[in-house]
Amino acid sequence: MTAAGPGIDPLPPRVVDALRCSVCGSPIELAGRTLRCESRHSFDLARQGYVNLLHARIPAGTADTAPMVEARSALLTSGAYAPLADAVAAAAGAPSGLVVDAGAGPGYYLSRVLDAAPSAVGLALDVSAIALRRAARAHPRLGAAVWNLWEPWPVGDGVAEVVLDVFSPRNAAEFHRVLAPGGILVVAAPLPGHLAELGDLVLAVDERKEQRLETTLGTHFTREAVTEVVRTSAFTAQQVHDVVAMGPAGFHLDRDGRGERLRSAAARDVTLAVTVGVWRRND
């Protein structure tokens, strides 16, 4: 495989080896700045280094927008979610193979896992090309591909040692398929007290979240461990804005006066309340 052209960060070779053509499912190779399969389906790397493997439009309101990505990146850079990132990295352990982050956004959590695992490589999957512009440059051992996580993934069978899912869609069948036997799934999900101080500025957490996790994942995985990350800390007014604007509420800031209330929101204490579960693949 050759390096990408000027201005293009190449995908790590082990990431390319794990990817499959999203049209026919064949292995693909990187030649210059183009991924190509034996059937000559091809996908060009974007200037920022990610590749878009989609060949169908996605519904409006599915992919994070530029303002949402900007808010997420700003909040994560501020360190507000660092305790969660530490817990995710600890749960992932010290993998030496491929780590796939399903719904990776700007690549923050995957980068933290790779920092703690110097022999591993990472694949960031997300439906937002805007988010993956940042993810592709978040870590030198990280490759990024745009994909709809509810569709069969353009990733080979049994190629991943770890799959991460942090506040993202949970496609249990695909998690199971891409993980190698004995591989683990790390899932971060909000507890009912998560961001409670923000009231109706954010979407409420379903009280049955844990039950829904068991229902969604239990057929393919067995939960081995769970850690609760609960921290209350002082958020600045800007952090309050960013934590609201980066989430699902970011699609609807123009409704019900939420955007106006958010613009005038004051600094306050905010609680981070999340479970980080380790799920072992049922072989």
Task: Tell whether residue 24 is among the known ligand binding residues.
Answer: no
- Across all residues in the chain, what is the average pLDDT? 91
CA distance 220 to 172: 7
Q: What is the pLDDT of residues 167-180, one digit of tens each?
A: 999 999 999 999 99
Task: Tell whether residue 41 is among the known ligand binding residues.
Answer: yes
Q: What is the pLDDT of residues 115-147, one digit of tens each?
A: 999 999 999 999 999 999 999 999 999 999 999
CB atoms within 10 A of CB 32: 15
CA distance 98 to 119: 9
Task: Tell whether residue 55 is among the known ligand binding residues.
Answer: no
* Domains defined along the chain, listed by start: 13-187+206-229+273-281 (3.40.50.150)
pTM: 0.93
The pLDDT assigned to 211 comes to: 81
Q: What is the pLDDT of residues 13-68, one digit of tens each?
A: 999 999 999 999 999 999 999 999 999 999 999 999 999 999 877 776 788 999 99
Task: Tell whether residue 81 is among the known ligand binding residues.
Answer: yes
Is residue 229 scored above 90 in pLDDT?
Answer: yes
- Share of residues in the chain with pLDDT > 70 (%): 93
